[in-house]
Amino acid sequence: MASFPCSIVVVCLAVSLLLASSMVPCAANFNQGFDITWGDGRGKMFNGDELLTLSLDKTSGSGFQSKNQYLFGKIDMQLKLVPGNSAGTVTAYYLSSQGSTHDEIDFEFLGNSSGDPYTLHTNVYSQGKGEREQQFCLWFDPSADFHTYSILWNPKSIVFSVDGIPVREFRNMESIGIPYPKNQPMRLYSSIWNADDWATRGGLVKTDWTQAPFTTSYRNFRAEACVWFSPGSTSCGSLESGYNTWRSLELGAVGQQRLRWVQNNHMIYNYCTDTKRFPHGFPPECKV
């Protein structure tokens, strides 16, 4: 799907408590929690494994994945994206299971020409079906400093947040026949790669390899989650019993207001309003 260009918008936000309750996440350094899986040395760890970088050049990109698989959780990571002219590049940060009927929860950051905002691309797959894209213009320069990108995934809903501000919610709508990710454990992945056939202005702006290597940095991974051991066995015990704060989290009134504000002011694409793509009617979840 082609990306939609952002116009520059600068907004100051006072970040307040957005969720109905709070949590205290656990930290893990990258060597303990992740494996760099590809890139032939383009993925590196620094500062006692508290900082990880992934790089892309004309030969290859790079990526990593979590050692653990999770079945529900609250995942936070701080990213600082490629600065300057990053047109054509994509940094992906997502949860995913395996197989043709996989589940997936995606953040993707689509590169830009110098001076243009990044496009934040989101998607949700359940049982192999995706095509649920929403895109946003970020209200800050994500390459100037680290910002926190969070995925809350529990039996009730999936919430995408940026610096604690919810940008998207995908609710469990199994009651109307919409599959929901709830049975397949997922690893956390991230990668940087070349996608200049579509990533920037629908592929009109190509990667400028004289600017390579392109580097994204990561720090302060946090996860409060059920670590998957085997079918029916997780670090949370029975998935049908017990209490975990993040498992009961929902957007409160303030969170819903912030979500509407972001979607009204910073959303640039919503599959649920794309009549050209769905001329015979929108997917059923769009009607809720």
List active site positions: 104, 108
Distance separating alpha carbons of residues 180 and 105, to the nearest angstrom? 11
Sort strands 51-56 and 119-125 into parallel, antiparallel or unpaired: unpaired
- Nearest Cα residue to 128 out of 102, 96, 105, 95: 102
Distance of alpha carbon 5 from alpha carbon 269, whole angstroms: 10
208 in Cβ contact with 200 (< 8 Å) = no
Q: What are phi and psi of 157, to 5 degrees?
A: -165, 165
Among 72, 92, 65, which Cα is nearest to 151's? 72
3-class secondary-structure state, position 286: helix
Q: What is the C-alpha to C-alpha distance for residues 288 and 279, in angstroms, rounded to an integer? A: 18
d(CA 140, CA 11): 8
Q: Which residues contact 114 (CB under 8 A, 6 or more apart)?
A: 84, 85
Distance in angstroms (rounded) separating the CA atoms of residues 48 and 30: 9
149-174 burial code (b ≥16 CB/10 A, e <16) = bbbbbbeebbbbbbebbbbbbbebbe
CA–CA dist 27, 115 (Å, integer): 34
Quick check: 169 and 251 in contact, CB under 8 A?
Answer: yes
